[in-house]
Amino acid sequence: MKRIILLFALIAYTTASFAQNNTANMEQVRKLVLAHSAIMNLYVDQVNEAEIVEASVKAMLKELDPHSTYLTAEEVEKMNEPLQGNFEGIGVQFNMADDTLFVIQTVSKGPSEKVGILPGDRIVTVNDTAIAGVKMARDEIMKRLRGPKGSVVQLGIVRRGYDEKLTFRVTRDKIPVHTLDAAYMIAPKVGYIKISSFGATTHGEFVAALDSLKNQKMQHLILDLQGNGGGYLKAAVDMVNDFLQEGQQIVYTEGAKSPRSEFKAIGGGRFQEGRLVVLIDEYSASAAEIVTGAVQDWDRGVVVGRRSFGKGLVQRPVPLPDGSMIRLTIARYHTPSGRCIQKPYGEDIDYRKDLEQRFNKGEMMHADSIRLADSLSYQTRKIGRTVYGGGGIMPDYFVPLDTLSYTKYHRELTAKGAIVNTNLAVIDRYRKEYEVRYPDFKTYNKHFQVDDTILSILLAEAEKAGVKYDEELYQASLPLIKVQLKALIARDLWEMSQFYEIYNHTDETVMKGLEIIQSKEFSLTKK
């Protein structure tokens, strides 16, 4: 019955919103209703109506663009959570190793910290149900740990130095979800901020980081949007407003049935002066591209990295009665110069293999492999620099993908979890020793070294994971491996910001951005 209601609700929505008394459209809707009725009432065998309805909806959406999708009620909940700014749970950051949940950090003043759960603890039971050593799926573990605010969960904890299992009763609460990964002074007068996505709390986090860095004498800013897949439009617009002058256009949207809608800066932004560099890569998409495009088109800053993903479709959620949802594309995003952010798609384009094809064509390694037609050229709004459309945002300065340190051996170590498991093993074994030896991050960063003991743990984890040892490739990746492990250990001892403070020295895009922002010749001239 629910599926019948769902189908007819969809039909009613379609009829009311789009038919507009158009006889041809009404006939097509009637055709759909009759087909469904015939199948359900006349078909020779029993029909699973739920499957029929969902298959019909998915088939319709498949004929549209790659991003118009159908989501189940469960998928809707999972999609919204990282963007809404909080969820309800026990307040721990954890990782899985050897089928065991390790607590990496407890949320400050969160439910777990309040009852005495510590970093390094292993959660082995939830309400007397074993979750360790039973090959339980990560999603299933998450379901057991999360729950409504105010509900109580009993956790069985194994702690190093204690022979017996410890028991804690944790009262679940609202747990904040942060989208700002790092904020620190990367050089004198130069601040660095990394944003992982654009959610409900992003702008507030960004403003707090800006104010903190300004108090540390920041004059110039590197904004790292590498790997940022987007999120809320409002969060992106609010951030750009901190960079642009009142009245300057941030982005506009337009579609066949959606009239042009413009978003402009309202003024009063917190970073109107000072040099600005935005870092992007092939995984920067949607809201991240809106920010980047606006900064570039108004000549407010310099863009460094590799061409962004090219996702510039405006999507409207269409909620359905059973909690499921259609995400329907209704318009396209355009930058202030008129560039369409969305990359091409259609019958003759293998959209989902676009990044792979870019790599194979050499685009990730060589700037001159990117050939764009003159018809795709646009001019920036202030200086008149030439910028290009055609999908994604083209950087002002290209940085090739690092293929020397990231060897096949390193990729296998990463893919099979050997590096992460090494970090977990080291933290589990030496956390207390490190906390005494390195009372603060400055001391750690200056003196800590990834030694042979840690590397022997890595090689043991690699062997356990089935990674075949290759001496030449191991030596080629060793400097990178050492930095990664040092950064991961720092993250677990302090915060994610400390991870990037160490790791960024190996990131060529970050280093190029720093070089440019510190250059005496820094300027936005007509190219």
Concerning whether 408 is annotated as a catalytic residue, the answer is no
CA nearest neighbour of 493 among 36, 26, 119, 19? 119
Q: How far is CA 423 from CA 107, 414, 481, in A?
A: 20, 12, 11
Residue 318, beta-bridge partner list: 326
Amino acid occupying residue 168: F
Cα–Cα distance measured from residue 187 to residue 218, given in angstroms and rounded to the nearest whole number: 9
Query: What span, in angstroms and rounded, lies between the C-alpha atoms of 458 and 464?
Result: 10
| Residue 286 annotated among the catalytic residues of the structure | yes
Based on the residue annotation, tell me whether 297 is a catalytic residue of this protein.
yes
Q: Which of 68, 112, 284, 286 is catalytic?
A: 286
Tokens in use for 424?
């977990």
Active-site annotation holder among 224, 281, 297, 492: 297
Considering 311, 343, 486, 512, which one is annotated as catalytic? 311
Torsion of CA 57, 62, 66, 69, to 10 degrees: 10
> Are β-strands 302-305 and 397-398 bridged in parallel, bridged antiparallel, or unpaired?
parallel
Kind and range of the H or E element at 318? strand 313-319
Task: Transcribe 434-486 into DSSP letters.
Answer: HHHH-SSHHHHHHH----HHHHHHHHHHHHHHTPPP-HHHHHHHHHHHHHHHH
DSSP letter (8 states) at residue 16: I
Question: Active-site residue numbers?
Answer: 286, 297, 311
